[in-house]
Structure 1
Amino acid sequence: MPISQKIPTWAAVPTVFAIFAVVSYQTLFAPDNLEGTKNVLPMAKTIPIPVDGPESIEFDPQGEGPYAAVVDGRILKWRGDALGWVEFAHTSPHRGNCSSREVVPTCGRPLGLSFEKKTGDLYICDGYLGVMKVGPQGGLAELVVDQAEGRKVMFANQMDIDEEEDVFYFNDSSDKYHFREVFFVAANGERSGRVIRYDKKTKEAKVVMDNLRCNNGLALNKDRSFLISCESATGLVHRYWIKGPKAGTRDIFAKVPGYPDNIRLTPTGDFWIGIHSKKSPVGRLIVGNKWLGKLVEKTVKLELLIAVMNGFKPHGIAVKISGETGEILEILEDREGKTMKYVSEAYEREDGKIWFGSVFWPAVWVLDRK
């Protein structure tokens, strides 16, 4: 008997739609398959945190922590399994309506964290308020800088400190958008990001790199001769020379897969870069066409854009690059997102452990490489 007589026509419709859905997903939305990666991140230990989005983590000069910058405007400190997370600091005095799940602009949104070793002060890049500082005892942070060369700092993101020169460098990821619109900044093609040098003695804020497209992570190299800053939209890692014969010039240091976030220097002088997600065909289409990115900004809800950019499959990934050449040395993954999702930072310690933060997920993870 012919197959058409065995199966009613209407019964074939769901099957056709299912096949179409699978093919469409693989063609448009599925995250890239990267060669040579190590799917080891599912083995990391999960440390739950009662608030979403420990975007950046840091350890104090005594080695205590980690400290985590979370979505409700606070900095929390990990006191071990017995005591858990305790409040250390906050960037805004307005604490009445802060949410543990969503950004409330009046509460601030702390992002990059950097301790100054000689003073014990914690510097905080807040995606709404600017660069803040709080003393070793914590509490309410005070403003350090919120403008440079006559332009407001709208999106302070990550920073690094040169204690010998008594200066620090930080990213202002956009002069138009705050933190919550970060994916629109990456998609719409605007190059409004800049890197700013702040002299703590003279209190002068000077732009050293501009025309950047959603520059996210920033770190100084081991001898403080240059800094690198990565663009989330393009995956390009820009280098700015601070010392030597090339001082004051810039070049492209590396290109990494996916949409990069924070950068951390390793104990051996290389760099770990947290990757929010790998790229997908539709993500490349949006980011690669300015007109389409602007259309998406006007018509697509942020939550949907985030889902599209990570292929409807949140996962974890971190890339290690050489501190000398920018060459990719290692890529760690959680391909299926079983343990890690939305990785924003990978912070390697001298004991061989790598700590991971997440821009959205309520967890910090630690992977013991030894």
Structure 2
Amino acid sequence: MPNGIALSPDEHFLLLAETSIGRILRFWLKGPKAGTKEVVMDNMIGYPDNIRRSDHGTFLVGITTPRFRKITPPFLDMIAPYPAVKRFLAKVIPLSWYRVLLPRYALVLELGSDGRLVGSLQDPEARLTWAISDVFQHRGRTYLGSTDLPLLARP
């Protein structure tokens, strides 16, 4: 189920971020592929939350958390095939526990219109922020939103 969505500059396709399974899809709106979808990025380094177009036509993807580095396979990957388990855990585990369980790491991916990775912003120590839920640009400045912090960060 998509969580983030962004329209291409030429309005030919949408990019969709699917947080729970860590992938980005392209849904074609115009042209010979209209009405079809394709995987742009799969098995990502983390879980994409939202996706927005940057000031210069690329796409910015906030990564809420990287996949667990100490657990193999990552916990969310293990339960991904079991929607009932995910719903149950979401109801019984307090949100505050996730702050303790999930690694703190700030990551933003920048994708070209072809879906290839063209850049990233990273804060592995989470000194500025972590759990990036949204990233947007305005007048040449980049702003980061977080699921855990009640503020906007500016790298």
SS at match of 1:237: strand
Structure 1 residues not aligned, in runs of 5+: 1-211
CA positional deviation for 1:293: 7.3
2:62 and 2:133 in contact (8 A); partners too: yes
Residue 336 of structure 1: aligned partner: 125
Superposed, which structure 2 residues align to 1:210-289 within 5 Å? 212=1, 215-255=2-42, 256-280=44-68, 281=71, 284-289=74-79
Superposed, which structure 2 residues align to 1:1-370 within 5 Å? 212=1, 215-255=2-42, 256-280=44-68, 281=71, 284-289=74-79, 290-291=81-82, 294=85, 297=89, 300-308=93-101, 310-311=102-103, 314-323=104-113, 325-351=114-140, 353-367=141-155
Q: Distance in 1 between matches of 2:94 and 2:139?
A: 42
CA positional deviation for 1:259: 1.1
Query: Normalised by the size of structure 2, how large is the TM-score?
Result: 0.83
How has the CA–CA distance of structure 1 residues 248 and 291 changed in structure 2, closer, same or farther, with 3 Å as cutoff? closer
Q: Distance in 2 between matches of 1:285 and 1:319?
A: 22
SS at match of 1:268: coil
CA positional deviation for 1:349: 3.2
SS at match of 2:46: coil
1:302 partner amino acid: L
Q: Deviations over 1:197-236 (max 9, x none)?
A: xxxxxxxxxxxxxxx3xx2111001011100111112221
2:58 and 2:112 in contact (8 A); partners too: yes
Give the helix-richer structure, 1 or 2: 1
How has the CA–CA distance of structure 1 residues 267 and 300 changed in structure 2, closer, same or farther, with 3 Å as cutoff? closer
CA positional deviation for 1:301: 3.3
2:20 and 2:76 in contact (8 A); partners too: no
How has the CA–CA distance of structure 1 residues 249 and 341 changed in structure 2, closer, same or farther, with 3 Å as cutoff? same
Q: Deviations over 1:125-155 (max 9, x none)?
A: xxxxxxxxxxxxxxxxxxxxxxxxxxxxxxx
2:53 partner amino acid: L
Q: Distance in 2 between matches of 1:247 and 1:292?
A: 30
Q: Distance in 1 between matches of 2:30 and 2:66?
A: 34
1:286 and 1:293 in contact (8 A); partners too: no
How has the CA–CA distance of structure 1 residues 347 and 362 changed in structure 2, closer, same or farther, with 3 Å as cutoff? same
CA positional deviation for 1:307: 3.1
Q: Distance in 2 between matches of 1:283 and 1:261?
A: 20
How has the CA–CA distance of structure 1 residues 330 and 344 changed in structure 2, closer, same or farther, with 3 Å as cutoff? same
SS at match of 1:355: strand
Structure possessing the higher radius of gyration over alpha carbons? 1
Q: Distance in 2 between matches of 1:336 and 1:266?
A: 25
Q: Distance in 1 between matches of 2:66 and 2:94?
A: 20
Query: Normalised by the size of structure 1, how large is the TM-score?
Result: 0.37
Aligned length: 149
Residue 115 of structure 1: aligned partner: none
Structure 2 residues not aligned, in runs of 5+: none
Identity of aligned residues (%): 26
Q: Distance in 2 between matches of 1:250 and 1:303?
A: 36
How has the CA–CA distance of structure 1 residues 291 and 217 changed in structure 2, closer, same or farther, with 3 Å as cutoff? closer
Give the 4+ runs in structure 1 shifted more than 4 A: none
Alpha carbon RMSD of aligned pairs, Å? 2.3
Q: Distance in 2 between matches of 1:286 and 1:262?
A: 18
